[in-house]
């Protein structure tokens, strides 16, 4: 690649980051213009520390399980990475995604470092399973969301248990077709990765329940949970930095739709983001320290260091 093209690529990334930053800031300012800011911060201060700690542990456990789901995909494409190394790399990727959006993203970094330590591996398949890992998570969000929606029995949608099962079957068939057509080499782990994904998203839903209970919301939690699931899907859209702004906007408009407290809804979103950010901060250790890439079948340390970003 010529020097001019490298410069152009660097400026393009910088411009994209600035646009995302502007969108995030704009959405946050818009959200706070719609609510009582002082009331929201009073709500944040009122949460029970016990519930907050429990929520943190649940989010942490969900990320550990998510790393094992990704490990299943890596083993399918024969990347000989140890579970411990994969977990370290997963936390580092989370740190990149949330705190270093101006550089290379967490998934891109993982693909790069895995290729560096496994030159024989297919970059195309590595990137594909990283994408598939996210798709699997979205499918689990959709699955849980359908049943939560059915429990609400909203007249405008009229989704009952029968319709929920039908929608789930259709979604499952569509997902299976995507796997068969585009990721045939992962068919052997189709069901196991779905189970992993349901555990991941289920633990995060329980974390939200802990936050809601900590905010003294012990009844009618289902609308809050549904809004959370929708915000998780929206935050995946790469329009903002780490989903900041889009997630909060979804919570506020979701609160209006279901006639919930906008301040408590936004407070729930902010607290979950804080928990996720604290978990992601674990990755800063591996940003400054060595990740040891041992082959799964070897016992000798390769003594290789993750390159500086």
Q: Taking the domains of the chain in order of start, what are their residue ranges?
A: 50-235+270-288
Q: What is the DSSP-derived secondary structure letter of residue 300?
A: S
Residue 253 is predicted with a pLDDT of 84
- Those residues of the chain that have pLDDT short of 70 are 1-3, 6-10, 13-14, 16-17, 34, 100-104, 153-162, 238-243, 294-309
CA distances from 28 to 37, 38, 55, 124, 195 (A): 12, 15, 24, 36, 35
Residue 1: per-residue pLDDT: 54
State the pLDDT at residue 55: 95
Q: What is the pLDDT of residue 75?
A: 93
**Three-state DSSP state, 81:** strand
What was the pLDDT predicted at 37? 77
For residue 88, the model assigns a pLDDT of: 94
Please report the pLDDT score of residue 301 as a whole number: 35
Q: What is the pTM of this model?
A: 0.83
Report the alpha-carbon distance of residue 290 to residue 215 in Å, rounded.
40
């Amino acid at each position: 690649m010529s020097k001019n093209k490298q410069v152009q690529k660097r400026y393009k990334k910088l411009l994209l980051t600035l646009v995302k930053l502007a969108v995030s800031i704009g959405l946050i300012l818009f959200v706070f213009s719609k609510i009582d800011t002082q009331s929201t911060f009073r709500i944040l201060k009122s949460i029970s520390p016990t519930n907050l700690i429990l929520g943190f542990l649940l989010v942490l456990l969900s990320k550990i399980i998510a790393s094992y789901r990704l490990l299943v995909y890596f083993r399918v494409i024969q990347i000989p990475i140890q579970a411990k190394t994969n977990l370290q790399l997963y936390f580092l990727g989370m740190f990149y995604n949330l705190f270093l959006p101006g550089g290379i993203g967490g998934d891109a970094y993982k693909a790069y470092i895995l290729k560096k330590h496994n030159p024989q591996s297919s970059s195309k398949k590595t990137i594909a399973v990283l994408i598939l890992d996210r798709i699997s998570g979205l499918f689990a969000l959709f699955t849980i969301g359908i049943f939560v929606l059915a429990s609400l029995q909203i007249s405008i949608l009229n989704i009952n248990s029968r319709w929920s099962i039908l929608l789930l079957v259709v979604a499952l068939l569509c997902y299976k077709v995507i796997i068969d057509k585009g990721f045939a080499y992962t068919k052997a782990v189709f069901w196991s990765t779905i189970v992993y994904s349901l555990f991941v998203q289920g633990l995060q839903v329980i974390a939200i329940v802990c936050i809601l209970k900590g905010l003294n919301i012990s009844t009618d939690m289902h609308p809050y949970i549904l809004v959370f699931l929708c915000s998780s899907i929206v935050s995946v859209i790469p329009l903002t930095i780490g989903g900041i702004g889009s997630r909060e906007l979804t919570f506020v408009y979701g609160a209006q739709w279901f006639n919930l407290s906008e301040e408590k809804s936004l407070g729930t979103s902010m607290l979950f983001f804080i928990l996720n950010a604290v978990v992601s901060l674990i990755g800063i250790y591996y940003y400054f320290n060595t990740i040891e890439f041992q082959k799964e079948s070897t016992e000798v340390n390769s003594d290789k260091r993750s390159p500086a970003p």
